[in-house]
Structure 1
Amino acid sequence: MCQRSGVLVMWLGPVVGFGRSRPFHACEPCATRLARWVRGAELEPPAPTPRSGGETTHERRYEIAVNSVAAVTISGLLSLTSTAAGLWLGAR
């Protein structure tokens, strides 16, 4: 939403309009403002966040969260793969 470069973004889902759909990505501050607007906590639609030169606390926390999700996903896939391999070898 803010069009900043060099920040991590998350996929929020598809945006559908006029018979087309596109993926929608936003950084953590923009996603938080959008969620507050959807819940009715903000009366105006979210405006683009200002560009910043340095890394903020939100960006560091977001990076840690993304790394945590990646670690959990990778360990889950490894567990699933080892279970499938064990079943396949046991069936032989």
Structure 2
Amino acid sequence: MIDALWSVWWLWLAAALVLGVVEMLLPGFIFLGFAIGAAVTGLLLLIVTPSLPLLLLIFAALSLAAWLLLRHRFSLPSGQVKTFKDDING
């Protein structure tokens, strides 16, 4: 029964939605990579139903690729350091 839950496409999309909400509450582009990986995995399950180990490998690879793309897209330019000019305490 547990193995059957992994192959339900809408559970992956629901997990993607939950991870997206967690990303809004705790920003940092960490949970967003997992959310994108879960969403694409859920959409992939509409087409094909792989075994559980292969499905988890696909999810991990998609999440890593999404995280790397987000990091590349939203990172500071090379050699630049984020500085703060105003202090909230003073």
The two structures share one fold, judged by TM-score above 0.5: no
Greater strand share, structure number: 1
Higher relative contact order (CA 8 A, sep 6+): 2
Larger radius of gyration: 1
Q: TM-score, normalised by structure 2?
A: 0.34
